[in-house]
């Protein structure tokens, strides 16, 4: 059943009972005689509109340069990556959500969110419909278990970004992913770096782009089936993927958390490419020469800093998943077909 709100709208900072009346369309208003089953925070109109505006300003600083380049059919191998590798469209990143269990008060909320199948109209305003969580509980649990397993492992800081080098190993220049950019050490020098270092990449979505000659050189054999067993919190790509897991939890998690994960992923991508075999100095990307002891030390120090920041976000995502699963368990009719 859809979920509604009973009783009078509470004052700012209080909690209102949310109830389960008979069926209504998404964006519809619940009936007055429903039985309360869970609690919801109510955000007054001025508060949620301020948060939404702040989110849009923050995200637009990232989106506008990307959209401008896209309009001119230009590509940036660092700053465009998160928009091309991940499936979350710019418009979705820009759209603000308060997260599950938060009622947006006022007529403006109905105008902004009332037509969405993810939201439900209630007397106090608009709320993300928790009944839709039941259909997604398995995927939420999978994300939660992956994040928790990754968090439980020690960070390995000895990979030195060699995954990017393994992706171009023994490839002719025209087949290189970012072929418009030269290899800093040339093809032969790049191959020598791969051949003279031990590669230990634990991330499947990096390993799957290794060239065929590079794959046997990896100490591990990551696969989708073993992802939860191998991912570790020092991995740049595992920490970039926090953005993916955050947006896959949208609109049930607050958009500020999604943006925090995007911001971290954006910074990690810069290190990822500065430590890569490409010469991106024309873009202002100073190389991190991981083929030298100094470069490896610089990389490991930056990697450690990113791992510490990612730990905070990973913890927040695990807690969010726990809250969402608990909320899904409270759905009075989990067998109801989801509006998704």
Residue 291 C-alpha from the chain's centroid: 31
**Three-class HEC string of the chain:** CCCEECCCCCCCCCEEEEEECCCCCCCCECCCCCEEEEEEEEECHHHHHHHHHHHHHHHHHHHHHHHHHHHCCCCCCCCCHHHHCCCCCHHHHHCCCCCCCEEEECHHHHHHHCCCCCEEEECCEEEECHHHHHHHHHHHHHHHHHHHHHHCCCCCCCCCCHHHHHCCCCCCHHHCCCCCCCECCHHHHHHHHHHCCCECCCCHHHHCCCCCCCHHHECCCCCHHHHHHHCCCCCHHHHHCHHHHHHHCCCCCCHHHHHHHHHHHHHHHHHHHHCCCECCHHHCCCCCCCCCHHHHHHHHHHHHHHHHHHHHHHHHHHHHHHHHHHHHHCCCCCCCCCCC
pLDDT band at 17 (very low <50, low <70, confident <90, very high): very low
Sequence-ordered list of residues with C-beta below 8 angstroms from that of 152, at least 6 positions apart, any chain:
none
Sequence-ordered list of residues with C-beta below 8 angstroms from that of 130, at least 6 positions apart, any chain:
3, 18, 38, 100, 101, 327, 328, 330, 331
Pair 104, 125: CB distance under 8 Å: yes
Asked which of 11-20, 248-257, 297-306 is least confident by mean pLDDT, the reply is 11-20
Q: Looking at the predicted structure, is the pLDDT value of residue 10 above 70? A: no
Q: Which tens digit of pLDDT belongs to each residue from 213-259? A: 999 999 999 999 999 999 999 999 999 999 999 999 999 999 999 99
Asked which of 163-167, 212-216, 301-305, 332-336 is least confident by mean pLDDT, the reply is 332-336
Q: Looking at the predicted structure, is the pLDDT value of residue 134 above 60? A: yes
Per-residue tokens: 158: 């000895």
Q: Looking at the predicted structure, is the pLDDT value of residue 31 above 70? A: no
Average pLDDT over residues 70-79: 94
Q: Looking at the predicted structure, is the pLDDT value of residue 303 above 60? A: yes
pLDDT above 90 covers what percent of the chain?
81
For the chain, give the mean pLDDT. Answer: 88
At residue 8, the pLDDT reads 31
At residue 156, the pLDDT reads 97
At residue 132, the pLDDT reads 86
Q: Looking at the predicted structure, is the pLDDT value of residue 67 above 90? A: yes
Q: Which residue has the higher pLDDT, 332 or 215?
A: 215
With tokens 């470069």, the residue in question is: 295
Average pLDDT over residues 139-153: 98
User: Of 228, 229, 238, whose CA–CA distance to 272 is shortest?
Assistant: 238
pLDDT band at 130 (very low <50, low <70, confident <90, very high): confident
Average pLDDT over residues 202-209: 97
Q: Looking at the predicted structure, is the pLDDT value of residue 34 above 60? A: no
At residue 293, the pLDDT reads 98
């Amino acid at each position: 059943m859809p979920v509604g709100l009973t009783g009078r709208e509470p004052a700012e900072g209080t909690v209102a009972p949310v109830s389960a009346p008979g069926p209504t369309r998404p964006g519809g208003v619940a009936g007055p005689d429903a039985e309360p089953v869970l609690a919801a925070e109510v955000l007054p109109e001025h508060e949620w509109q301020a948060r939404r505006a702040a989110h849009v300003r923050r995200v637009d600083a990232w989106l506008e340069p990307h959209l401008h380049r896209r309009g001119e059919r230009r590509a940036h191998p660092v700053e465009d990556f998160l928009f091309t590798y991940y499936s979350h469209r710019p418009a979705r990143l820009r759209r603000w959500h308060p997260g599950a269990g938060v009622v947006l008060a006022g007529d403006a909320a109905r105008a902004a969110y009332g037509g969405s199948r993810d939201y439900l109209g209630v007397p106090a305003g608009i709320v993300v419909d928790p009944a839709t969580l039941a259909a997604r509980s398995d995927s939420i649990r999978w994300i939660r278990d992956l994040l928790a397993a990754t968090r439980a492992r020690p960070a390995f800081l000895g990979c030195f970004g060699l995954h990017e080098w393994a992706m171009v190993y023994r490839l002719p220049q025209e087949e290189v992913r970012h072929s418009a950019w030269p290899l800093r050490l040339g093809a032969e020098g790049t191959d020598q770096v791969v051949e003279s270092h031990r590669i230990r990449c634990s991330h499947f979505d990096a390993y799957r782009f290794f060239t065929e000659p590079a794959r046997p050189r990896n100490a591990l054999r990551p696969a989708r089936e073993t992802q939860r067993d191998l991912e570790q919190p020092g991995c740049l790509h595992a920490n970039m993927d926090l953005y993916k897991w955050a947006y896959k939890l949208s609109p049930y998690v607050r958009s500020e958390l999604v943006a925090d994960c995007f911001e971290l992923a954006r910074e990690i991508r810069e290190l990822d490419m500065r430590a890569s075999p490409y010469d991106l100095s024309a873009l202002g990307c100073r190389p991190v020469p991981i083929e030298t002891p100094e470069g490896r030390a610089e990389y490991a120090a930056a990697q450690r800093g990113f791992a510490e920041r990612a730990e905070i976000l990973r913890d927040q995502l695990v807690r969010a998943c726990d809250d969402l699963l608990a909320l899904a368990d409270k759905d009075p009719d989990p067998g109801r077909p989801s509006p998704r």
